[in-house]
């Protein structure tokens, strides 16, 4: 059983055996590097801000959320059809602005299981991304700055990192849920950020 590993409020996992903080890194066929990291919820903001500060500027904010149910009813003709995700961007921003947005809506970014998000560079491969189970993923041409940061954050490197996805079976499923904060969900957050330049980019299958 995982000792001291805290999940986000909007994440439910039946089996946490073997899940602990740690990261793995592999080089892709294209030559860039792909990191995956488990971060306990109480340390999530500190870790994420440390990593995102390393992204080359100017950068972009990406937010992904589930497509509204009314649109899903139109798009999905059968139960076997995939669900969809709406993708939004806010371009040409500094890390300082990303941090300001994150802090304003931190409860959503840390705990909402209906929200994927990240901060990436406008040039090259350099992005820190968070999926709905709050697993941190980094894509980088320059891996060393992230390796050094993860070491300082006391997140150990593991040859084979076990994430919550590793334990999912029909008997031990996982699920995520949208949270509400002060009467708002991520849908209202997106609408507020549209007034600051966030725009809809695409709808894709999950």
The model's pLDDT over 12-53, given as tens digits with 9 standing for 90+, comes to 999 999 999 999 999 999 999 999 999 999 999 999 999 999
The reported pLDDT for the residue numbered 69 is 64
The reported pLDDT for the residue numbered 77 is 62
The segments of the chain whose pLDDT lies below 50 read 1-2
Query: How far is the CA of 145 from the CAs of 22, 51, 60, 116, 150, in angstroms?
Result: 16, 9, 19, 23, 9
The reported pLDDT for the residue numbered 119 is 98
Query: How far is the CA of 200 from the CAs of 17, 63, 66, 189, in angstroms?
Result: 38, 9, 13, 13
Sole residue written with tokens 């320059």: 142
| Mean pLDDT, the chain, integer | 91
The reported pLDDT for the residue numbered 83 is 63
Q: CA 164 to CA 144: how far, in whole Å?
A: 26
The reported pLDDT for the residue numbered 204 is 79
The reported pLDDT for the residue numbered 85 is 83
The reported pLDDT for the residue numbered 206 is 73
Which are the contacts of 149, defined by CB distance < 8 A and separation ≥ 6? 50, 51, 54
C-beta contacts of 99-105 below 8 A and 24+ residues apart:
99/49, 99/52, 99/53, 101/61, 101/193, 101/196, 102/45, 102/48, 102/49, 102/52, 105/189
């Amino acid at each position: 059983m995982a000792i001291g590993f805290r999940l986000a409020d909007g994440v439910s996992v039946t089996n946490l055996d073997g899940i602990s903080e740690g990261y793995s890194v592999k080089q892709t066929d294209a030559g860039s590097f792909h990191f995956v990291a488990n971060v306990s919820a109480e340390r999530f903001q500190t870790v994420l801000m440390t990593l995102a500060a390393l992204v080359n500027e100017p950068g972009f904010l990406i937010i992904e959320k589930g497509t509204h149910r009314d649109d899903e009813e139109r798009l999905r003709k059968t139960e076997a059809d995939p669900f969809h995700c709406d993708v939004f961007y806010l371009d040409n921003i500094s890390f300082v602005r990303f941090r300001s947005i994150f802090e304003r809506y931190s409860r959503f970014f840390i705990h909402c299981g209906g929200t994927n998000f990240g901060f990436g560079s406008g040039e090259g491969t350099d992005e820190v991304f968070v999926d709905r189970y709050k697993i941190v993923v980094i894509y980088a041409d320059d891996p060393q700055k992230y390796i050094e940061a993860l070491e300082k954050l006391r997140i150990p490197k593991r040859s084979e990192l076990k994430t919550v996805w590793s334990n999912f079976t029909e008997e031990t499923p996982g699920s995520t849920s949208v949270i509400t904060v002060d009467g708002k969900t991520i849908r209202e957050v997106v609408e507020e950020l549209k007034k600051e330049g966030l725009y809809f980019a695409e709808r894709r299958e999950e």
